Amino acid sequence: MPITISPARVWRERIPRYRLVGKRCKKCGRIIYPPRPACPACGSRDLEDVELPRTGTVETYTIIYTVMDGFRDKAPLPIAVVRLDNGARVLAPLTDIDTEEIRTGIRVEAVLRRMKRDGEHGLIAYGIAFRPVLYEQRKQ
């Protein structure tokens, strides 16, 4: 079976895939995620790394029922735009929730989840997903 996941690419993309690290434009202050070499708002390349909050609110979502090869075990696949607590928006899958329970406005937190596996014994790719904040945590 041919390798479909590139180990070199997984290594290069490890920081934005495994951590919520974005860029802040020093010129206009916009927070950018995923990181880019230039600010999409003003074009400045004067950017600095910024650790993003791990919690936020579902702003909008969709549920994908017909998924690509390699993701069939995840169908139906809920994807959401999450507005983080600092205002930045992140597009990511939702996990640990029934599709009937998904609503806009629910509080979520970032977690690391397996996204794809290259065959039975191959390389495993991980990434950020969001799950509902546990009830005990919401009360505090």
Helix or strand run (H / E) with residue 12: helix 7-12
**CATH (domain of 133):** 2.40.50.840
107 in a structural domain: yes
Specify the residue for token string 């899958």.
Answer: 93
28/127 Cα distance (integer angstroms): 29
47 in a structural domain: no
User: Rg of the chain over CA atoms, in angstroms?
Assistant: 17
140/127 Cα distance (integer angstroms): 28
Rounded to an integer, the average pLDDT of 35-40 is 92
pTM greater than 0.95: no
What residues are paired with 100 via a beta bridge?
Answer: none
How does pLDDT run across 81-98, given as a tens digit for each residue?
999 999 899 999 999 999
3 in a structural domain: no
119 in a structural domain: yes
35 in a structural domain: no
> What pLDDT is attached to residue 1?
44
Specify the residue for token string 């950018």.
Answer: 32
106 in a structural domain: yes
Could you give the number of structural domains in the chain? 1
Domain that holds residue 61: 53-139
79 in a structural domain: yes
